[in-house]
C-alpha cells in the first residue's frame, strides 16, 4: 500500500537468515525484491497505509485469499507518519501537490489515511517505522510453528531501562517512551535521540498524564499534543491538530 518501502528493506536485510526463511516458504509476491506476481497467499505481510480506493479493494481481495494477515510497520499498523495527511482537507492536498486541476480530476484517487485494520481484519501487527528485524524474525518463526505472535503491551521505557540508558527527561529533554509500545529495544534513545512514538501507543496509554509530564519538562500543551500526534495524528483524542506541524 502507500509507504516508503523501508519495512520491506528491513526484511531484505535479513541476509543471514534469508536462506533458512526461503527453505521454509515460497515467496510469491514481494514488490521490492522480485518481478513475478501472484495473488495466491497463505500468509500476507502488508506494508503501507490505505490512502486510495484501489488499495482498499486490493486489501479485501488479499483478505479473501490469505489465511493470516500481518501488518508490516507503522504505516499499515496505525497509519504511521502518513496520518499527517489527515490534518489537511483532501482538496487542499490535491491542489498543493498536483495543482488546481487535480481537485476536480478523477485521476487522483486519494483519501484520508487509514490503517489496514480499518479496512480488513488483521491477525497480527508488526509495529515500528521501520519494523524491528528481530521482532520480524521472531514473529515469522512463530507463524511457521503455527503459533500466534504476541506484540508487547508495555512501554518503551522498559526496553530503555534494559538497555541501560540514562532517561532523556533527566537530561532536560522530553520523550514519548512512557506511552509507546515497546519491542524496539529503545534504539532511538540508545543512539542519542528520543522516542518519537513510531510504534504507536500501548493499549491503554495515559495520554492526559503524559501531556502533564511533558508540560512539567518544558513543553507547552500544544507542543506536547504535536509530539504525540507525529505518528498518531488524530489518535490521541486531545488538542487541536495544527497543519503541517509536528
- Report the residue number, 3 or 232, with the smaller CB distance to ligand SF4: 3
Of 168, 184, 143, 164, nearest in space to 25 by CA = 143
User: 62: alpha, beta or left, given left = phi > 0 and alpha = psi -120 to 50?
Assistant: alpha
> How many residues interact with ligand SF4 (rule CB under 6 A)?
35
Among 11, 69, 189, 228, binds ligand SF4 (CB under 6 A): 189
- Report the residue number, 32 or 91, with the smaller CB distance to ligand SF4: 32
Q: Is 236 in the site for ligand SF4 (CB under 6 A)?
A: no
Among 83, 94, 199, 210, binds ligand SF4 (CB under 6 A): 199
User: 218: alpha, beta or left, given left = phi > 0 and alpha = psi -120 to 50?
Assistant: left
Q: By Cβ distance, which residue is nearest to ligand SF4?
A: 177
Question: Which string of x and - marks every residue 76-115 that binds ligand SF4 (by CB under 6 A)?
Answer: ----xx----------------------------------
Q: Is 188 in the site for ligand SF4 (CB under 6 A)?
A: yes
Q: Is 205 in the site for ligand SF4 (CB under 6 A)?
A: no
Q: Is 186 in the site for ligand SF4 (CB under 6 A)?
A: yes
| Cα–Cα distance measured from residue 198 to residue 29, given in angstroms and rounded to the nearest whole number | 27
Q: Is 1 in the site for ligand SF4 (CB under 6 A)?
A: no
| Inter-residue contact 231 to 192 (CB < 8 Å) | no
Strand 43-46 and strand 68-72: pairing?
parallel
| Cα–Cα distance measured from residue 214 to residue 193, given in angstroms and rounded to the nearest whole number | 16
Q: Is 6 in the site for ligand SF4 (CB under 6 A)?
A: yes
- Grid coordinates representing 45? 505481510
User: Residues near 89 by Cβ (< 8 Å), separated by ≥ 6?
Assistant: none
Q: Is 47 in the site for ligand SF4 (CB under 6 A)?
A: yes
Question: Which string of x and - marks every residue 145-184 that binds ligand SF4 (by CB under 6 A)?
Answer: -----------xx--x----x-xxx-----x-xx-x---x
Beta pairing partners, 199:
none
Per DSSP, the three-state class of 45 is: strand
Among 50, 69, 73, 79, binds ligand SF4 (CB under 6 A): 73
DSSP annotation of 85: G
Amino acid at each position: 500500500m502507500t509507504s516508503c518501502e523501508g519495512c520491506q528493506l528491513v526484511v531484505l536485510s535479513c541476509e543471514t537468515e534469508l536462506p533458512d526463511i526461503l527453505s521454509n516458504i515460497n515467496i510469491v509476491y514481494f514488490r521490492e525484491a522480485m518481478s513475478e506476481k501472484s495473488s495466491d497467499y497463505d500468509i500476507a505481510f502488508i506494508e503501507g497505509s490505505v490512502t486510495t480506493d484501489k488499495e482498499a479493494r486490493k486489501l479485501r481481495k488479499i483478505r479473501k485469499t490469505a489465511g493470516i494477515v500481518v501488518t508490516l510497520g507503522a504505516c499499515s499498523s496505525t497509519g504511521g507518519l502518513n496520518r499527517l495527511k489527515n490534518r489537511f482537507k483532501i482538496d487542499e492536498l490535491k491542489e498543493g501537490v498536483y495543482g488546481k486541476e487535480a481537485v476536480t480530476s478523477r485521476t487522483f484517487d486519494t483519501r484520508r489515511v487509514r490503517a489496514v485494520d480499518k479496512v480488513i481484519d488483521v491477525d497480527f501487527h508488526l509495529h515500528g517505522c521501520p519494523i524491528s528485524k528481530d521482532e520480524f524474525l521472531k514473529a515469522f518463526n512463530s507463524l511457521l510453528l503455527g503459533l500466534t505472535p504476541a506484540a508487547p503491551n508495555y512501554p518503551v521505557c522498559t526496553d530503555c531501562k534494559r538497555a541501560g540508558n540514562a532517561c532523556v527527561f533527566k537530561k532536560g529533554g522530553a520523550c514519548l517512551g512512557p506511552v509507546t509500545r515497546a519491542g524496539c529495544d529503545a534504539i532511538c534513545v540508545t543512539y542519542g535521540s528520543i522516542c518519537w512514538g513510531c510504534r504507536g501507543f500501548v493499549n491503554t496509554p495515559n495520554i492526559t498524564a503524559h501531556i502533564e509530564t511533558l508540560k512539567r519538562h518544558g513543553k507547552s500543551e500544544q507542543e506536547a499534543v504535536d509530539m504525540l500526534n507525529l505518528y498518531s495524528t488524530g489518535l490521541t483524542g486531545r488538542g487541536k491538530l495544527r497543519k503541517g506541524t509536528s
